[in-house]
């Protein structure tokens, strides 16, 4: 039973008991209704108190029931709320800790509400592309006033109960408890006080008006549309609340339901719900149970104070974890420290960081030139040059000095983590922690699981990722891991598009219109085109048959490395980041096409987008089939958090699912017949072919 029933004198107490946050799953909903029926049938019961056990009143819908038939099984939440509202004995909601979404709607269906101070109140449905769907858009404006209610609903943000209690004329809380620990006692006192009140107050019976309704709703709708960009839900929140002011309650509620159901089927809502679950799923590793013991990480070592080492260190300093930062030369160490200081000072200047906090963080940083200082660290992350010889030297030294049980991590982007682990006598303690640049900003962390990486090491770093506010996704060992291995195919396609007739700006514009934060050529200019150049040179040795457009190499031969050299695929005015089309680059591409004997053709934006995105999808399917990624949603998380893939599309794998894999495979077959593209490139991954043939999806 996930809701309990007790009688105290003339009061019945129904307690939601569905850890962790009393999600309103089927059993809980049944439990509430059963408790209510029992209370109504018992002549000794005069009033009812509804509350939640443990850490919440209720966090809302039970996410474990998402997309399952149980979510739609009676009593659905609307029916539970109707039953409470129709109760002939008063129902008092005793709200504490968290009342969110459906949990808040449940409380709004009660006749009276008393809240503990400090309770988190929110209607977060908009964050998963929905509006509140169990009367929330109709009752909350009646309880709180139209404007504060719409603000809560459209933002999805949480507000403390104490603040809401100060809204003039509010009827959300009849009373605030004097202290959280007094809540039940005071809720029961309230229930006794109101036991004889008739008729019972119901929010549905209250008027709902805004004095300047037309002007206000127009303004609110414009704001919501501006904020929402690709998402339909925010302006729909405005429609639903407006309905509360214009229609009788039941008609308004029907309108809310209609909007809710329509939103549910939008690709944007599906994308947001997918990412919501994907985020949680990413932190779980199939064969590493959640009760796996973890190692305690009190002190961290970082080797190399370059671009990555500095940013990586800041993550730990921000979380209050001391960092020992090692370089081989004083000069490099000083340079690294200066960059860390500069980054923090910029935050202080912008008012994002307090001066004392900055000082506190710097005090946690211990710069050094001596490996000796790593004797007592619990985790070391290496971020030195990307050369196996240098990594070998570093890991042999680490093996000699680090204490037993210390985790030894590498930030390598391309080297084999198992080879690196082999430089030590403790490969079970070695793991890849692949941060993204700038490491203090980017959310993604690829955790690279070596063949011998111990389970408790994985459990520890996954937990640590949360502490430093990263989204960790596990990848197996392969060249490029999940993200860079896929982006390489995308970049190859981008090159072929230039060969066939596109300009860099046309490709960038098309994919940015699709929703990417930045197209491949602007991205190349930002990251440095020389990085890919070096990788291609290495590939030419390892995979001599692999075809690339030569344009990227020609660009580098011209010294056009990107923003850092003032020119790349685009020109840049000194000190500016605006990408200006370059006549020199266009001439280079033209000459290259002539040399190949290619006649340029006009390529549509749709074709550009499909070729770039399906390149990701196909490589993603290989990665999935090889077990490098455990699930398609992990790949989506990598692309959303690390590569600027548009959130409203839910990641490349969900996007392919939504298009239909059959259609994706058909398009690939069509691309394969293009004589200027690479036919072998478009051989659909076997997994994709199988799923397409069976009418199945990747996710
Ligand atoms: P970088 O050249 O900016 O910094 C490397 C630093 O390591 C330099 O300061 C150098 O002095 C120091 N160093 C070299 N050998 C050392 C040694 N033996 N002991 C101690 N310090 C030593 O390089 P980076 O861009 O910070 O890259 C570092 C690592 O991170 C590489 O493995 C790279 O593949 C990986 N990486 C880089 C990025 C990126 O975007 N730059 C992203 C993810 C991962």
Digit-coded pLDDT (tens) for 232-290? 999 999 999 999 999 999 999 999 999 999 999 999 999 999 999 999 999 999 999 99
**Same-domain check for residues 523 and 663:** yes
| Residue 289 counted as domain residue | no
* pLDDT over threshold 80, residue 96: yes
Query: Ligand 1: does its nearest atom lie under 6 Å from the Cβ of 305?
Result: yes
- Residues 432, 497 contacting (CB under 8 angstroms): no
Query: Ligand 1: does its nearest atom lie under 6 Å from the Cβ of 301?
Result: no
Percent above pLDDT 90 for the chain: 93
Q: Assess whether 193 carries a catalytic annotation.
A: no
**Same-domain check for residues 410 and 532:** no
| Residue 178 counted as domain residue | yes
| CATH code of the domain containing 453 | 3.40.50.720
Structural domain boundaries enclosing 535: 483-694
* pLDDT over threshold 80, residue 544: no
Among 121, 219, 217, 213, CA closest to 164: 121
Q: What's the pLDDT at 266?
A: 96
**Same-domain check for residues 371 and 455:** yes
| CATH code of the domain containing 634 | 1.10.1040.50
Strand partners, 176: 115
* pLDDT over threshold 80, residue 67: no
Beta-strand pair 11-16/112-115: unpaired
| Residue 285 counted as domain residue | no
Active-site option among 105, 242, 256, 382: 105
CA of residue 411 to ligand 1 center, whole Å:
8
Phi/psi of residue 531, each to 5°? -65, -50
Q: What's the pLDDT at 536?
A: 85
What average pLDDT does the segment 616-628 reach?
98
What average pLDDT does the segment 173-181 reach?
98
Query: Ligand 1: does its nearest atom lie under 6 Å from the Cβ of 531?
Result: no
Instruction: Please spell the DSSP secondary structure of 541-558, one letter per residue.
Output: HH-TT----THHHHHHHT
Q: Which residue's alpha carbon is at the smallest distance from atom 10 of ligand 1? A: 304
Q: What's the pLDDT at 383?
A: 97
CA separation for the pair 415, 422 (Å, rounded): 13
Q: What's the pLDDT at 126?
A: 97
**Same-domain check for residues 144 and 175:** yes
Query: How far is C-alpha 581 from the geometric centre of its chain's CA atoms?
Result: 34
CA angle 412, 413, 415 (to 5 degrees): 65
- Residues 67, 30 contacting (CB under 8 angstroms): no
**Same-domain check for residues 102 and 250:** yes
**Same-domain check for residues 98 and 200:** yes
| Residue 699 counted as domain residue | no
CA separation for the pair 460, 445 (Å, rounded): 14
**Same-domain check for residues 460 and 501:** no
DSSP-based three-state secondary structure for 242? helix
CA separation for the pair 158, 165 (Å, rounded): 14
The tokens for 31 are 């439990």
**Domain count along the chain:** 3
On the CB side of 541, how many CA atoms lie within 13 Å of its CA?
Answer: 5
Query: Ligand 1: does its nearest atom lie under 6 Å from the Cβ of 484?
Result: no
| Residue 27 counted as domain residue | yes
| Residue position matching structure tokens 């904020």 | 227
**Same-domain check for residues 464 and 501:** no
The tokens for 603 are 């390529």
CA of residue 653 to ligand 1 center, whole Å:
32
Domain edge (last residue) among 237, 264, 291: 264
Query: Ligand 1: does its nearest atom lie under 6 Å from the Cβ of 411?
Result: yes
**Same-domain check for residues 464 and 495:** no
Domain edge (last residue) among 475, 506, 524: 475
What average pLDDT does the segment 574-598 reach?
95
Helix (H) or strand (E) holding 349: helix 330-349
| Residue 101 counted as domain residue | yes
* pLDDT over threshold 90, residue 7: yes
**Same-domain check for residues 508 and 387:** no
CA of residue 446 to ligand 1 center, whole Å:
17
Non-local (6+) Cβ contacts of 308 within 8 A are: 383, 411, 435, 437, 439
Q: What's the pLDDT at 227?
A: 87
DSSP-based three-state secondary structure for 302? strand
Non-local (6+) Cβ contacts of 475 within 8 A are: 432, 434, 446, 447, 448, 449, 481, 482, 628, 629, 638
- Residues 199, 138 contacting (CB under 8 angstroms): no
Active-site option among 125, 327, 488, 607: 125
- Residues 333, 412 contacting (CB under 8 angstroms): no
Query: How far is C-alpha 563 from the geometric centre of its chain's CA atoms?
Result: 29
CA separation for the pair 430, 380 (Å, rounded): 10
Domain edge (last residue) among 451, 475, 499: 475
**Same-domain check for residues 185 and 318:** no
Query: Ligand 1: does its nearest atom lie under 6 Å from the Cβ of 456?
Result: no
Q: Give residue-wise pLDDT tens across range 410-440.
A: 999 999 999 999 999 999 999 999 999 999 9
* Burial class of residue 199 (count of CB atoms within 10 Å of its CB; 0-12, 13-18, 19+): exposed
Quickly count helices (H) and strands (E) in the chain.
28, 19
CA separation for the pair 349, 367 (Å, rounded): 24
**Same-domain check for residues 452 and 499:** no
Q: Give residue-wise pLDDT tens across range 355-375.
A: 999 999 999 999 999 999 999
Mean of all residue pLDDT scores within the chain = 96
CB neighbour burial string for 617-655, b if at least 16 within 10 angstroms, e if fewer: bbbbbbbbeeebbbbbbbbbbbbbbbbbbbbbbbbbbbb
| Residue 270 counted as domain residue | no
* pLDDT over threshold 90, residue 678: no
| CATH code of the domain containing 83 | 3.90.226.10
* pLDDT over threshold 80, residue 646: yes
Confidence grade of residue 531 (pLDDT, cut at 50, 70, 90):
confident
Q: What's the pLDDT at 63?
A: 77
From the alpha carbon of 335, which atom of ligand 1 is closest? 9
Helix (H) or strand (E) holding 407: strand 407-410
Query: Ligand 1: does its nearest atom lie under 6 Å from the Cβ of 304?
Result: yes
| Most ligand 1 atoms within 8 A of CB, residue of 306, 313, 419, 439 to mutate | 306
Region for 582 from its dihedrals, namely left if φ exceeds 0, alpha if ψ lies in -120 to 50, beta otherwise: beta
| Residue 236 counted as domain residue | yes
Q: Assess whether 125 carries a catalytic annotation.
A: yes
CA separation for the pair 542, 413 (Å, rounded): 17
| Residue position matching structure tokens 């214009």 | 246
Q: What's the pLDDT at 594?
A: 95
* pLDDT over threshold 80, residue 543: no
């Amino acid at each position: 039973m996930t809701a309990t029933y007790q009688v105290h004198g003339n009061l019945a107490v129904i307690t939601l008991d569905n850890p962790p946050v009393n999600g309103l799953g089927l059993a809980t909903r049944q439990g509430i209704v059963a408790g209510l029926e029992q209370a109504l049938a018992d002549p000794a019961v005069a009033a009812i108190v509804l509350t939640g056990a443990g850490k919440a009143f209720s966090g809302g819908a039970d996410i474990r029931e998402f997309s399952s038939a149980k979510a739609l099984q009676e009593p659905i939440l609307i029916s539970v709320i109707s039953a409470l509202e129709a109760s002939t004995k008063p129902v008092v909601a005793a709200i504490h800790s968290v009342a969110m979404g459906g949990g808040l709607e449940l409380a709004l269906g009660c006749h009276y509400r008393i809240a503990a101070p400090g309770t988190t109140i929110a209607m977060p449905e908009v964050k998963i592309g929905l509006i509140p769907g169990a009367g929330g858009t109709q009752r909350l404006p009646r309880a709180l006033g139209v404007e504060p209610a719409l603000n809560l609903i459209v933002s999805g943000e949480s507000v403390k109960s104490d603040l809401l209690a100060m809204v003039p004329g509010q009827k959300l809380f009849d009373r605030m408890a004097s202290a959280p620990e007094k809540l039940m006692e005071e809720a029961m006192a309230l229930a006794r006080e109101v036991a004889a009140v008739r008729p019972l107050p119901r929010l549905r019976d209250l008027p709902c008006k805004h004095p300047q309704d037309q002007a206000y709703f127009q303004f609110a709708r414009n704001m919501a549309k501006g904020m929402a960009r690709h998402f339909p839900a925010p302006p729909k929140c405005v429609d639903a609340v407006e309905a509360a002011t214009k229609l009788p309650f039941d008609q308004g509620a029907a309108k809310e339901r209609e909007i809710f159901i329509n939103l549910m089927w939008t690709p944007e809502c599906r994308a947001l719900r997918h990412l919501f679950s994907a985020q949680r799923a990413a932190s779980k590793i199939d064969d590493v149970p959640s009760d796996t013991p973890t190692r305690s990480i009190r002190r961290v070592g970082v080797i190399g104070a370059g671009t990555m080492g500095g940013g990586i260190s800041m993550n730990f300093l921000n979380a209050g974890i001391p960092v020992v930062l090692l370089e081989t030369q004083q000069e490099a160490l000083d340079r690294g420290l200066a960059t860390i200081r500069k980054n923090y000072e910029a935050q202080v200047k912008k008012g994002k960081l307090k001066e004392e906090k900055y000082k506190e963080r710097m005090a946690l940083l211990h710069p050094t030139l001596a490996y000796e200082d790593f004797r007592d660290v619990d985790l070391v992350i290496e971020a030195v040059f990307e050369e196996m010889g240098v990594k070998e030297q570093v890991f042999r030294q680490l093996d000699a000095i680090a204490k037993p049980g210390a985790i030894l991590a590498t930030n390598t982007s391309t080297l084999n983590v198992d080879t690196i682990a082999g430089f030590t006598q403790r490969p079970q303690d070695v793991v890849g922690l692949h941060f993204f640049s700038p490491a203090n900003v980017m959310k993604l962390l690829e955790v690279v699981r070596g063949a011998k990486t111990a389970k408790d090491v994985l459990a520890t770093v996954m937990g640590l990722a949360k502490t430093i506010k990263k989204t960790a996704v596990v990848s197996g060992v392969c060249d490029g891991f999940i993200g860079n291995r896929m982006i390489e195919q995308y970049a190859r396609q981008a090159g072929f598009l230039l060969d066939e007739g596109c300009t860099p700006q046309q490709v960038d514009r098309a994919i940015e219109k699709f929703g990417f934060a930045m197209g491949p050529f602007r991205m190349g200019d930002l990251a440095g085109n020389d990085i890919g150049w070096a990788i291609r040179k290495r590939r030419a040795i390892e995979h001599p048959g692999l075809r690339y457009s030569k344009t990227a190499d020609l660009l580098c031969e011209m010294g056009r490395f990107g923003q850092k050299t003032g020119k790349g695929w685009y020109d840049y005015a000194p000190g500016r980041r605006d990408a200006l089309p370059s006549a020199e680059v266009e001439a280079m591409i033209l000459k290259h096409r002539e040399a190949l004997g290619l006649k340029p053709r006009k390529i549509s934006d749709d074709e550009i987008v499909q070729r770039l995105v399906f390149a990701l999808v196909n490589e993603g399917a290989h990665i999935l089939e090889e077990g490098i990624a455990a699930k398609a949603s992990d790949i989506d998380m990598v692309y959303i958090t690390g590569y600027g893939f548009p959130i409203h599309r839910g990641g490349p794998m969900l996007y392919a699912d939504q298009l239909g894999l059959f259609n994706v495979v058909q398009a690939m077959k069509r691309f394969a017949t293009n004589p200027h593209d690479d036919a072998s490139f478009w051989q659909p991954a076997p997994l994709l072919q199988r799923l397409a043939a069976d009418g199945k999806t990747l996710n």
